[in-house]
A and B are shown apart, each in its own frame.
Chain A
Amino acid sequence: MNLLEVNNICKTYGSGETAVHALKKVSFSVPKGEYVAIVGESGSGKSTLLNMIGALDTPTSGEVKIGGMDIFTMDDRKLTVFRRRNIGFIFQAFNLIPELTVEQNIIFPVLLDYQRPDKKYLEELLTVLNLNERRNHLPSQLSGGQQQRVAIGRALITRPSLILADEPTGNLDTQNSREVIALLKETSKKYEQTIIMITHNRSIAQTADRVLQVSDGVVADLGRCRE
């Protein structure tokens, strides 16, 4: 069963002669639990595509269905809640909340829902992410690799079905990059989550189940890599 369906997505910035077509009738689908890497040149439309899938931006035309639900038919309020509960984001620049501790950063999406975090699951995540001893530290007291692990924890805390990562290793060294990717794969497998990740790193892309290439706003399926 497909978790994500992208149908004829177009995104145009500006109009008339100055119009820029960032995405041109993009269509693809991703089954549940699949790990997809998106590659492409800078400015090819990778981030625009990820923004559309994550409902951070709206397409000019076309639809995005997550779990069978057309996300752009929802109003802004519902969409925010949907994003909070169903999509986990991992950014290149980590984007942690500087005023919150490691533990608070991880449970942040749960707190936004005015719910109590599942303590057992939180402990499990802290252990898996090897952040147990750092749980009361502020982001400014962590290394880049540790900050990205916190971001992964934040993306996983609501048990989302879809995780979107935009160059999660872009700010990390090789060793940390390898660890973060291994962790992402391990957790997604454990919690049966679908991952869509933008990367410039060919070797990281090759670890994915499938690779999509974006070029001038057009998506090409490069097929499966791991077999």
Chain B
Amino acid sequence: MKSYLSLIPISAKVHKRQNRMTILCIIFAVFLVTAIFSMAEMGIRMEQTRLVNKHDDLTLQDIISSTTGQTLCIIAIVFFVLVLIAGVLMISSSINSNVTQRTKFFGMMRCIGMSKQQIIHFVKLEALNWCKAAIPIGVTLGIIITWGLCAVLRFLVGEEFSDIPLFGISIAGIISGIIVGIITVLIAARTPAKRAAKVSPVTAASGNSEITGNINHAAKVNLFKVETALGIHHAVASKKTLILMTGSFALSIILFLSFSVLVEFVGYIMPQSAAAADINISSVDVSNGVDSALVDTIGTMDGVKRIFGRRSVFNIPAQLNSNAIEIDMISYEDFDLNCLVKDDMLKKGSDISKVYGNSHYVLATWDKGSTLEIGDKIIVADEEFEIAGLLKYDPFNSDGLTNGEITLITSGDTFIHTTGITDYSLIMIQTTSDVTDEDVTAIREILDHDCTLNDLRDQRTSGTYIAFVFCIYAFLAIIALVTVLNIVNSISMSVSSKIKSYGAMRAVGMNEHQITKMIVAEAFTYAVLGGIVGSMVGLIVYRLLYSILIGNHFSYAIWSLPTIPLLIILLFVCMAAVIAAYLPSKRIHNMAITETINEL
């Protein structure tokens, strides 16, 4: 041994198992940053290929300064900062846990003359030593995942992503991964290093870092079973830990709910309808002038996946509650009606099954100012129709509002029976993924002069939508994972500080099941309190963000309790608590009683 620092690789070998969690955290942070920057570079390369095909003299600088390039760079930087923060938190709590488990070791080092500064130096170098293994693994993983994601975007999402490179290696991704690995570890090791330096040499003798003098209240053993009471007491005894742990749980819930608003927001700015058409054919004079026979003709042509039409009449007289009014009427074919259900367009209580075929049931558009209700009767052309369902908004107006007008949606058969009109005002075509411009030209050529064809294929947003939603879910996954790791480390730290006490409890007859229950009670106390605080604050933030992002811009949007995201994150929090309790329980189980009580 040349210096006391030569102890680091020796100690790393001995504590291989204890160090595993910290190394995992570093791998995770490096992998995320490598993947994010690699994906951003692949995105820029894709944009370059796409634009070079259109304009030959484009340079990389032009791409980076383009709107897409800048958006990608901003997204990558925001991700980078978030991962950096998450990484620091995650690695710091893991090193903290590691240090707490070796309190006696640091006490001993202090006993035999290591200065506080040397301890700090030791912990920091020890953390950097882990990077040796963690960074190459993280970078490799990042590159492989980037390849996987590029393949998914290219083959499954397609559209604008069909030019994305498959096996690209991003130097920027690799360098940023390495830098992030080192920076996060250095920042993360600061607090645990100071903590280790604070360990009193006296603890070398006792092996316990717990300060029993801080306990002011006894556990409530008359309210719960003794192990549960002790677990709850461990959680609430230290106000600082309680606030930190509850905050940790709550923060993940708040972040999760906040990001859930973004998923909804993307849905509003890029509405995805199952009935969205790639090609529209309409009559020039807006009457029902598109020959219904065209549907059969075009339906058999190359590149056509699905074809359906709508008929419409406007401002026809009707009677609602004995009042004479004017209404619009639009026909939907079965596929179109099915899509209303798929797109979740109907209000609660609607029964669309009554509308199909030749019936006396219709759907109606709706908004907050509308007085229409399900079950209302409306007379059109001397026939009475009942409103079987209401749409959540008016899809025929860009602002989603009805502006006091009533638009009825009927089935094709009902429309023909009521109005006698068989031709369409609009034919909608969904194309196959391999449709060519020649296929579209062929369709255009069979149309009469009074029909126009609108090619909407370039306006598809499903690829961008999926990419956006994917990004948001990736964020959510990062938040969730950081939560789990943070909670696991914190519980592990708490257990480590009481290991001698647990040994005594086992010696006097506490069995493994009771020890596990005690740790579970501690973890669930944090989880329940965090769940309550997180749900309350999270819902307020959700409501606020909903108003700012959605409510203010989409007047037809109606806020509702985000039950599913809330249930998902609460379930996740419970899972995190279970995992957090399981790992230290297993550690105690594998430890001999005589070892945990530092010999009888």
Contact = CB atoms under 8 A, between A and B. Distances in A.
A91 B511 contact: no
Contacts of A166: 600
B447 interface: no
Interface of B: 206, 210, 212-213, 215-216, 218-219, 221, 225-227, 230, 233-234, 237, 500-501, 503-514, 592-594, 597-600
B157 to A, nearest CB: 54
A74 interface: no
Nearest to B219: A99
Contact of A104 (B219, B227, B593, B598): B219
Contacts of A8: none
Contact of A139 (B212, B225, B511): B212
Given A111-B221, A112-B509, A91 B504 contact: yes
Nearest to B593: A56
A56 B510 CA distance: 12
Interface of A: 47, 50-51, 54, 56-57, 76-77, 80-81, 83-85, 89, 91-93, 95-101, 104, 108-109, 111-114, 136, 138-140, 154, 166
Given A89-B600, A112-B226, A95 B504 contact: yes
A76 B600 contact: no
Contacts of B513: 77
Which 7 A-B residue pairings sit nearest by Cβ, starting from the closest? A84-B509, A95-B504, A111-B226, A98-B212, A80-B511, A166-B600, A101-B218
19 contacts: A56-B593, A76-B512, A84-B508, A89-B600, A91-B507, A95-B507, A95-B597, A99-B230, A100-B221, A101-B218, A111-B221, A111-B225, A112-B226, A112-B508, A112-B510, A136-B218, A138-B216, A154-B508, A166-B600
A175 to B, nearest CB: 24
A46 to B, nearest CB: 10
Contacts of B216: 138
A98 B206 CA distance: 15
Contacts of B599: 47
Given A95-B504, A111-B226, A140-B212, A47 B219 contact: no
B173 to A, nearest CB: 48
A84 B513 CA distance: 14
Contacts of B592: 56-57
B508 A109 contact: yes
Contacts of A84: 508-510
Contacts of A138: 215-216, 218
B600 A51 contact: yes
Given A77-B511, A114-B225, A56 B212 contact: no
B210 A108 contact: no
Contacts of A56: 507, 592-594, 600
